Amino acid sequence: MLNIALFGPPGAGKGTQSKMLVEKYNLAYISTGDILRAEIAEGTELGLQAKDIIKQGGLVPDEIIVQIIEERITANNDVKGFLFDGFPRTTVQAYILEGLLLKLNTKLDCMLSLEVPHENLKNRLLKRAETENRSDDTEDVINVRLKEYETKTSPVAEFYKEKEIYHPIDGMGDIDEIFGRLTAVVDQTLERSWMNMVLLGPPGSGKGTQGRMLAKKFNLVYISTGHLMRQEIKKGTEMGMSAKEYIEKGDIVPDEIAIKLIERQIKTHSDANGFIFKGFPRTIVQAYILDGLLRKMQSTITTALELEVSTLESIKRLAARGKTFSRRAYDADTDIIIHRLEQYEKRSSKVSEYYSKQNKHQVVNGVGTEEAIFEDLSQSVSEAFKTIR
């Protein structure tokens, strides 16, 4: 998901550029000014509360802003991202926006600030008042709005500078020139976006094989908690010994162990394009944990692909693997195989539902040739890439 805030004083051209950015990147457009004017025109309770404040050139209280922004966000939860025009205007609103986006398991990717000299802004706004008959664009109100903007919104720039997502953009020139400067920054932001994928599916569904192939094709780091734990066991580490008894029984290893291993791998590959997680999350708690780990890196899960395989097919595959050199210790025990499948069926639906609510869950048929399944998965990954690239 791509989320942009377009920053800039009144008259900087945010409305014009926003519409162009929305069309290019297929985003939902959220303009607090437009929404408030619509609320006023419709005579809603929020509109009446805001009407007098807007006429005086003041900033509408956060209590009102939060309600209208949240309504629009929740009404557009299936889009590829949002473009916020006129919000946030204060550091309090910046924190509010973080919280609202957090509910969608996403974040703000960049703050673009259109820079225009004061006199040019006044001239633009006075001209707009004549052509569009906008009552809030009188000269006195314009001066109040510009002064209030400078006073209250400069800390917002500092807020996003600290997060390293603030980008000042020269707002002088023709529309296409300014648009070119904006899209250049957005495209650079997208290039830096991580592609993080969760590979779901029952034991024996082929997650390991497909995960390694996908990692190679899309230049991602493959993280298998099972493989990492087997390495720890082989080395005889404390974590390995703690995990061993759970793995041998086919049980889920305690979250504390998995977290340490995954976080270590992420830090080791901090320059990666993204990660493929296999074997984690297996529970709804682990799904939240993974979100937390990625948020520390200012990232999130892009897509969750689930390989759909019947229980009988899984048993056949695991039994067959138990006769090969790549067998696991638990592959030779039918009771453990059944126990692992039962564990998966018991907990997996909540994980799938978790990602479905975020419009990130895709089901792929896990039966067929290795090549055919890989082709289907690759297509799903490519589609997911389009949401962040």
Locus of tokens 């052509």? 131
Q: Is 60 annotated as a binding residue?
A: yes
Q: Are the C-beta atoms of residues 13 and 21 closer than 8 Å to each other?
A: no
CA distance 245 to 261: 17
Q: Is 205 annotated as a binding residue?
A: yes
Distances (CA, A) of 354 to 77, 84, 298: 14, 26, 20
Q: Is 58 annotated as a binding residue?
A: yes
Q: Is 13 annotated as a binding residue?
A: yes
Q: Are the C-beta atoms of residues 10 and 146 closer than 8 Å to each other?
A: yes
CA distance 275 to 269: 9
Q: Is 340 annotated as a binding residue?
A: yes
Q: Is 145 annotated as a binding residue?
A: yes
Q: Is 215 annotated as a binding residue?
A: no
Q: Is 173 annotated as a binding residue?
A: yes
Active-site residue list:
14, 89, 128, 134, 145
Q: Is 204 annotated as a binding residue?
A: yes
Q: Is 24 annotated as a binding residue?
A: no
Q: Is 32 annotated as a binding residue?
A: yes
Q: Is 280 annotated as a binding residue?
A: yes
Q: Is 387 annotated as a binding residue?
A: no
Q: Is 206 annotated as a binding residue?
A: yes
Q: Is 87 annotated as a binding residue?
A: yes
Binding-site residues from annotation for ATP: 11-16, 128, 173, 204-209, 321, 368
Q: Residues annotated as binding site for AMP?
A: 32, 37, 58-60, 86-89, 93, 134, 145, 225, 230, 279-282, 286, 328, 340
Task: Please report, in range form, the residues annotated as the binding site.
Answer: 11-16, 32, 37, 58-60, 86-89, 93, 128, 134, 145, 173, 204-209, 225, 230, 279-282, 286, 321, 328, 340, 368
